[in-house]
Amino acid sequence: MEFANFPYLSTILFSCVVGLLVILVIPAERKMLIKWVSLVFSGIPMVLSIYLFFAYDKAQGGLQFVEKVLWVDSMGIYYFNAADGFNLPMLMLTGIVLFTGVLTMWELELRVKEFFAFTFLLVAGVFGVFMSMDLFFIFVWYDVSLFPMYPLIAIWGSTRKEYGAMKLTIYLLAGSALILPAILYLFVNSGLNTFDIVALMQPGVFTPFQQKFAFILLYLGFGILAGVWPFHTWSPVGHVAAPTSVSMIHAGVLMKLGAFGVLRVAIFLCPEGWQYWAQLMAVLATCGIVYGAFVGLAQTDLKYVIGYSSVSHMGIVGLGLATVTVDGLNGAVFQMFAHGVMTALLFSSVGYIYEKTHTKMIPELGGMSKIMPVASGYFILAALAGIGVPCLASFWAELLVFISAFKTYPVRGALAICALVVGALFMLRVVQRTFYGEKNEQFEHLPDLTFVPGIPRMILAAVIVLFGLFPSVMLDVIQVASVPFINGLP
């Protein structure tokens, strides 16, 4: 047993589990109590994950805050949590999005208890995947996080919710079906009888062929969740169908789970497979970037627009991972964080507008800036971040990815860069049609965002701006993990 100090990571994880259990024993009529309990138990992970991010010792590097307990001796399964430069931004992202998501759903009236219970179950799985260094646990947490999406969408969703929920579940389970054999294949062939990633990632454990074989399975399996083109169509449909906070968690965090899985499992364990398949990854990522932007151009539903912009932005993550360079990895991880916060803000703004106007069809809105200037302001800020305006977080991520992509794959990199124009066109078009122009008389009486419901949006906007102005706060942490990793490649 190995506990460096206070088990921060487990506290984060179990605060979600305990939150879930506490909610389960509260009677369903005590809606306000349930919300407050949720807020407290989502606040703890947020505070702790931010603390860990800043407490991480960058000079020392490596895995820190390690908690390692042997669980099943005969199969070498460890309860093994640790933090490094790759998962710290993800943990912080999850903490922020969970907390702001709970606040965004403050007005919820329908089956409050079940909603927050499922949310905590989902997020517990997400935290588990991000912090776990054991293959077995990663897989278990991964599936834990997938299951609650179905009821969350099917019960509290809108627009074709059963179809969206079913489609999403089938896709993601298909992904799991690829991941499980790959994990078992690696476990059997390592000969080490362990699921410990640190042990399995030592050079020479797997032959090049094994790495290539396992990598493609893992890449496709996790890639489905990351919205890799052409396996992305579940994601816009799912986004549209989901209720606001679920969209936030889904697009903001869950899709990162896929990309993170590619990084933590596929790339960590099969670096040679990574280098072998990088060309293909770059092609698919570039397709996603260009394709997402063009399809987004044709959408008339606000949530579909954001859904396709996510496909495009997750393509940037994929492109970064495909470059096999320090800059690319840095950019990809940074983009996961930046895109998570940005999409959460987009969905929460749209959520507010939808809640008040009961429509998210662009042609029916218009002139919203006059009616709700503050709510519109947040959306516009996030949209600007989405089109890569400098000094907002995602600019730096895109910059790093594009620099490395242009170096490694000039043509694909240049194509992806050119897609920025289309991206700008489609986002500004949405902003123009929705927020500018003559106001719709029908919505004139609707109230603007007031201070308290504005808090979650304020947090997200502040994060976008702060990391945009001071990107090195984020990159110095990611660097600590990416530089040794790339240097250690065979």
- Name the site residues for another protein (rule: CB under 8 A): 167, 170-171, 230, 233, 291, 294-295, 297-299, 325-327, 330-331, 367, 369-370, 384, 389-391, 395-396, 400, 402-403, 406-407, 414, 417-418, 420-422, 424-425, 428-429, 432, 435-439, 471-472, 475-476, 479, 482-483, 486
201 contacts 268 by C-beta, under 8 angstroms: yes
Structure tokens at 103: 């606040």
CB closer to another protein out of 291 and 354: 291
In the complex, least distance from residue 291 CB atom to another protein, rounded to whole angstroms: 6
CB closer to another protein out of 100 and 325: 325
Residue in this structure with the two tokens 């100090």, named with its chain if needed: 5
Q: Is 224 helix (H, G, I), strand (E, B) or coil?
A: helix
CB closer to another protein out of 216 and 333: 333
Beginning with the edge strand found earlier in the chain, give each strand of the sheet holding 64-72 in spatial order.
2-3, 64-72, 77-83
DSSP string, 173-208: HHHHHHHHHHHHHHHHHHSS---BHHHHTSTTSS-H
In the complex, least distance from residue 288 CB atom to another protein, rounded to whole angstroms: 11
In the complex, least distance from residue 405 CB atom to another protein, rounded to whole angstroms: 10
Q: Rounded to whole angstroms, how far apart are CA atoms 344 and 350?
A: 10
CB closer to another protein out of 153 and 332: 332
CB closer to another protein out of 247 and 404: 404
In the complex, least distance from residue 44 CB atom to another protein, rounded to whole angstroms: 28
Pairing of strands 2-3, 64-72: antiparallel
CB closer to another protein out of 177 and 418: 418
**Residue type, position 246, single letter:** V
CB closer to another protein out of 206 and 396: 396
Tell me the sheet residues that pair with 81: 67, 132
**Four-point Cα dihedral 250, 255, 258, 263, nearest 10:** -130
Q: Is 368 helix (H, G, I), strand (E, B) or coil?
A: helix
Q: Which of 290, 293, 228 is nearest to 259 (CA)?
A: 228
At residue 394's C-alpha, the angle toward residues 61 and 483, to 5°, is: 25
Taking each helix axis from N to C terminus, what angle separates 149-156 and 161-190, rounded to the nearest 10 degrees?
A: 180
In the complex, least distance from residue 376 CB atom to another protein, rounded to whole angstroms: 10
CB closer to another protein out of 249 and 431: 431
In the complex, least distance from residue 399 CB atom to another protein, rounded to whole angstroms: 8
Q: Rounded to whole angstroms, how far apart are CA atoms 332 and 302?
A: 26
CB closer to another protein out of 22 and 361: 361
In the complex, least distance from residue 14 CB atom to another protein, rounded to whole angstroms: 35
In the complex, least distance from residue 387 CB atom to another protein, rounded to whole angstroms: 8
483 burial type by CB count under 10 A (0-12 exposed, 13-18 middle, 19+ buried): middle
CB closer to another protein out of 13 and 400: 400
In the complex, least distance from residue 367 CB atom to another protein, rounded to whole angstroms: 6
Tell me the sheet residues that pair with 69: 79
Q: Cα separations (Å) of 23 from 115, 123, 154?
A: 10, 14, 21
Q: Rounded to whole angstroms, how far apart are CA atoms 482 and 490?
A: 15
5 burial type by CB count under 10 A (0-12 exposed, 13-18 middle, 19+ buried): exposed
In the complex, least distance from residue 372 CB atom to another protein, rounded to whole angstroms: 14
In the complex, least distance from residue 287 CB atom to another protein, rounded to whole angstroms: 10
In the complex, least distance from residue 64 CB atom to another protein, rounded to whole angstroms: 21
CB closer to another protein out of 192 and 411: 411
In the complex, least distance from residue 121 CB atom to another protein, rounded to whole angstroms: 27
CB closer to another protein out of 283 and 297: 297
Q: Which of 217, 195, 228, 239 is nearest to 76 (CA)?
A: 195
Q: CA torsion sign, 257 to 260 to 266 to 268?
A: negative
250 contacts 242 by C-beta, under 8 angstroms: yes
**Ranges assigned E (strand) in 38-191:** 64-72, 77-83
CB closer to another protein out of 18 and 166: 166
